[in-house]
Every structure is written in C-alpha cells, then in structure tokens.
Chains A and B, each alone.
Chain A
Amino acid sequence: MSDALMAVREALLATPLSTIALTLAAYLAALWAVERLGRPSWCPAVLLAAVLVAATLWGLSIDVADYRRGADWLMLLLGPATVALGVPLYQQLPHIRALWKPLALSLPPAAALASCYSLALAWALGASPEVLASLAPKSVTAPIALGIVEGLGGSVPLLMGGLLLTGVMATLAVSLLAPALGIRDHRILGFALGVNGHAIGTVRAFELSPAAGAFASLGMSLTGILTALCLPLAWRLLGL
C-alpha cells in the first residue's frame, strides 16, 4: 500500500506537470483571495501565491529543488515575455518624444539612487557581497532583474523577496509622501511608482488613472533598461 503510494509520489514528482498544476492552482487561489480582501496594496497576489506554494511544499515535504526543476518549464516563458515588454515600450514612444528632456534629466539619477540608497545602507549594515548583488536591481521589473542578478552572481530567491518588499514599500511611500509634498500630478505619481516599485507599483498606478499607469510602465521600462545596461558595467568597474 505505502509502496504503491511512494511509487505514485515518485511518478508525480518526476513530471513538471505537477509543479505547473500546483503553481497555477496557487496563483488562481491567491487572485481569488486578494480580490475578496479588496486588493490591499500591502499584499500582492504573487506574495500570497508564493506562501501557498511554500506551505504546500513544506506540508508534503517536497524538496524546493524538485519544485524549481518543474517550475523552470514555466519560467522558460519569461524570455519571450520580457521581449514582449518591447510592445508597451513602443506604444509609449510618443510620451518619450514629447517629454524627453524632463525624463532624461530625472530618470538616470532616480534609477541610480533607487539602487544606491539600498546598497549603501546594506553595505553599512555589513551585508555580504552576495547579498549586495541580490539587492542591487531591487527596483527593476522581475524578468529584467533576474537577468541582471545572474550576471552579478546574486541569489535569485533573495532578489525575488527584495523585489516584493520594494514594490510594496514604494506603493506605500508614494501614497504617504505625495500628499505631504502636495504632488497631485498623476504623471509624476505614476512615474515614481514605476521607477521605484516596478510591476507592483505599475499595477497600483493603473488603479489611480490610465495616465498614471502609462507613466508608470514608462518609468518601469526605462529604469529596467538603464539599470540592465549600467549596473553590470558599474559592478565590473567597482571590481565586486
């Protein structure tokens, strides 16, 4: 009896389809739950879904490495999905042309500081080089950040946790700081959300208004490109 069960378990663990089913089920369940809770900005569906998967793996004592091997099949789609980000970028080109001057002035320092503040703090608090490499692209949208972290030699799980926390914090910070500074221009709010809070901030911006959403995805793409191009070079120059 238990031999048969073990054989079934072995067979199911061997196919990536069980991982894919688990991932889809957890994600759909998380979407449903987040919808029920009224889409709180501190708890994106991804976070809840990841908790559900982790709890399932822990409950069935499945090795996370086994899960990751199956999930690689899904994550294979990240390649074409990243390429697909070129489509909204192309659609934003009129915005970029019209506002290239303020964008060129504010984007590079904003994107650089998004990374530098955290790196300086982490370094001052004694974080290891691997941790620094994992946190450096924390404001970059995940598919691009994954590529950067692989190049820098950081830890992917730590990066993903950092991305989540950063997205949630950026959303909170914009909703707290913008009224205090008297900023109501949705283009600025959206841009700040996209530059600092990547996809999580962009989702929030689309809830504010379509204009905020457009500027958030613009800020997100430009930050991603700029960081992807500059960070590995800066890393090489610093000799890290």
Chain B
Amino acid sequence: MIAVLRGFLWLTGVWLAGETLVVLLDLPVSAGVVGMLLMTALLMLRIGRFDDIAAAGQPLIGLLAMLIMPGVVGVFFVADDFAGQWLAVAVSLVVGTLASVLTTLLLMRRCMPAEPGTDATPGSRS
C-alpha cells in the first residue's frame, strides 16, 4: 500500500513538473502528455522505483475508461448546440475512420518486415 502511495506521489509530482514546463515554455501540449514523456525518460534513466510507479500506474490505466466516462455523458446534452452539423460529424467520423484504417493497413503491409517467427503469414514471400 505504501508502494502505491510512493508511486502516486511520483505520478503527481511528474504531472506537476509537466505543468511547470508547459507554463514556463508556453508549450501547446497538455501537462499530462509532457508528464508522460518525462515519466518515460525518468524510467529510462532508472530514476524512481519502477515497481512503485507501476503499482500506482497500472490500476490508474485500468480505470482510464471510467475516468473519461463523465466527459462522454455531456454529448447527450449538446445536441442543440450543434444542430445541423450532426450529419457532417457522423459522415466524417465513419468514412474518415474507414479510410484511415485502410491507409494504415496498406502502409504497414508495405513497411513492416516479415515476422521473425513462423506465426501465420502465409502471404509472405521470403
């Protein structure tokens, strides 16, 4: 339990450091993103106990869906604010996502080297 507290203090401290950088350098990025990159850098430099940070971080990541859920609730109450634009929203999301998935799949098939193992790649010409 103390490990979780220590890890949570790390996460909070790193977020605060991110916020400090955002304000000082006038970055157009959120404090969370800067904090995430800082956290990765700190772990690469072996600063901070990985076990503590993971003990606090894993449950938080598991709860991400619940933490964003209150934000989703709002969409049911803004229907009037965007009247007349819902078709544009729906078409752009549905068609745009189909197109971008297609592009990603084609790009990756182009760029990705064949799998090292024997794992199901009957189409690969070695």
- The answer to whether B3 has its CB under 8 Å from any CB of chain A is no
| Total residue contacts A-B, CB cutoff 8 A | 345
Of residues 197 through 235 on chain A, the ones whose CB sits less than 8 Å from some CB of chain B are 197, 199, 211, 221, 224-225, 228-229, 232-233
Which listed residue (B64, B77, B107, B113) contacts A157, Cβ 8 A? Answer: B77
- The answer to whether A142 has its CB under 8 Å from any CB of chain B is yes
* Inter-chain contact B107/A80, CB cutoff 8 Å: no
Q: How large is the interface on B (under 10, 10 to 19, 20 to 34, 35 or more residues)?
A: 35 or more
In the complex, A164→B72 CA distance in Å? 8
- The answer to whether A13 has its CB under 8 Å from any CB of chain B is no
Residue of A at shortest CB range from B99?
A: A117
* Inter-chain contact B105/A174, CB cutoff 8 Å: yes
* Inter-chain contact A147/B100, CB cutoff 8 Å: no
> With contacts A106-B104, A196-B104 known, is A225 near B33, CB below 8 A?
yes
In the complex, A31→B95 CA distance in Å? 29
In the complex, A223→B100 CA distance in Å? 13
Residue of A at shortest CB range from B30?
A: A147
* Inter-chain contact B119/A160, CB cutoff 8 Å: no
Q: Which residues of A contact B56 (CB under 8 A)?
A: 80, 84
Q: Which residues of A contact B105 (CB under 8 A)?
A: 174, 177-178, 181, 183, 188, 192
Q: How large is the interface on A (under 10, 10 to 19, 20 to 34, 35 or more residues)?
A: 35 or more
CB distance from B60 to the nearest CB of A (A): 4
Q: Is the interface of B mostly helix, strand, loop or mixed?
A: helix
Q: Which residues of A contact B53 (CB under 8 A)?
A: 84, 87
Q: Which residues of A contact B20 (CB under 8 A)?
A: none
CB distance from B120 to the nearest CB of A (A): 5
- The answer to whether B125 has its CB under 8 Å from any CB of chain A is no
In the complex, A191→B94 CA distance in Å? 19
- The answer to whether B43 has its CB under 8 Å from any CB of chain A is yes
* Inter-chain contact A173/B97, CB cutoff 8 Å: yes
Q: Which residues of B contact A192 (CB under 8 A)?
A: 101, 104-105, 108
Residue of B at shortest CB range from A189?
A: B105
Q: Which residues of B contact A88 (CB under 8 A)?
A: 61
In the complex, A196→B102 CA distance in Å? 10
A-B contact pairs, 11 of them (CB 8 A): A71-B73, A75-B70, A80-B11, A87-B53, A87-B58, A118-B100, A127-B85, A170-B100, A173-B98, A192-B108, A196-B97
Residues of B within 8 A of A (CB): 8, 11-12, 14-15, 18, 28-33, 35-40, 42-44, 50, 53-54, 56-58, 60-61, 63-78, 81-82, 85, 87-113, 115, 119-123
Residues of A within 8 A of B (CB): 19, 23-24, 26-27, 44-47, 49-51, 53-54, 57, 64, 67-68, 71, 74-75, 77-90, 93, 99, 101-102, 105-106, 109-110, 113-114, 117-122, 125-128, 131, 135, 138-139, 141-144, 146-148, 150-151, 155-162, 164-166, 169-170, 173-174, 177-178, 181-188, 191-192, 195-197, 199, 211, 221, 224-225, 228-229, 232-233, 236
